[in-house]
């Protein structure tokens, strides 16, 4: 069998090289360690208060995976008053434990996250309902307009024209 002639085919140009992300991981880990060392009471408070956000990141299986953003935003909003209280009391570990020991603060943390879940689950259905109702209104308006045109111009306006072939 004769060998195939290769011709002047060029090898495809190599694509952009992707790094393994090791540098990013090391950088983020070092930042977290520095923040943890200097802001230990704040990090303890945030770790307990933001648990629902972590759970949302793990359990959200939607294609866009945006549930944790909705939950996390409202969870953080519920955490901010406790953070302000912690920082106004000097940011000590004792103040952090006292804040976490108050049931009202825990209710605010977790109910705000629950409200985030509620929004994440209910807003798409409400948007679909509003869209469907708007479409029905537009259809009814167009049909009424069509009826007025038929009344004004005659029934020929409402018929489909015959297609003429040449």
Find out whether 43 and 36 touch, Cβ atoms under 8 Å.
yes
Task: Give the HSE-up count for residue 158: Cα atoms under 13 Å, Cβ half-sphere.
Answer: 14
Select the more confidently predicted residue: 132 or 23. 132
Among 84-88, 112-116, 145-149, 155-159, name the one with the lowest average pLDDT.
155-159
Give the mean pLDDT of the chain: 87
- Give the chain's count of helices (H) and strands (E): 6, 0
pLDDT of residue 19: 57
CA 65 remoteness from chain centre: 6
Query: Is pLDDT of 86 > 80?
Result: yes
Query: Is pLDDT of 47 > 90?
Result: yes
Q: Return the top range by mean pLDDT from 10-19, 105-114, 151-160.
A: 105-114
Rounded to whole angstroms, the Cα distance separating 38 from 30 reads 12
For the chain, how many residues are written? 166
- Whether the pTM exceeds 0.75: the reply is no
């Amino acid at each position: 069998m004769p060998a195939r002639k290769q011709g002047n085919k060029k090898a495809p140009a190599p694509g952009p090289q992707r790094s393994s992300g090791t540098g990013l991981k090391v950088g983020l880990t070092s930042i977290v360690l520095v923040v943890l060392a200097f802001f230990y009471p704040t990090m303890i408070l945030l770790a307990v208060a933001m648990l629902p956000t972590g759970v949302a990141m793990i359990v959200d299986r939607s294609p866009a995976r945006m549930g944790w953003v909705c939950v996390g935003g409202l969870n953080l909003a519920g955490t901010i008053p406790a953070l302000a209280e912690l920082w106004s009391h000097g940011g000590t570990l004792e103040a952090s434990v006292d804040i976490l020991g108050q049931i009202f603060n825990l209710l605010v943390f977790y109910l705000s996250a629950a409200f985030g879940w509620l929004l994440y689950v209910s807003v798409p259905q409400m948007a679909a309902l509003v869209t469907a109702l708007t479409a029905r209104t537009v259809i009814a308006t167009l049909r009424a307009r069509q009826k007025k045109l038929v009344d004004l111009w005659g029934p020929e306006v409402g018929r489909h024209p015959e297609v003429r072939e040449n």
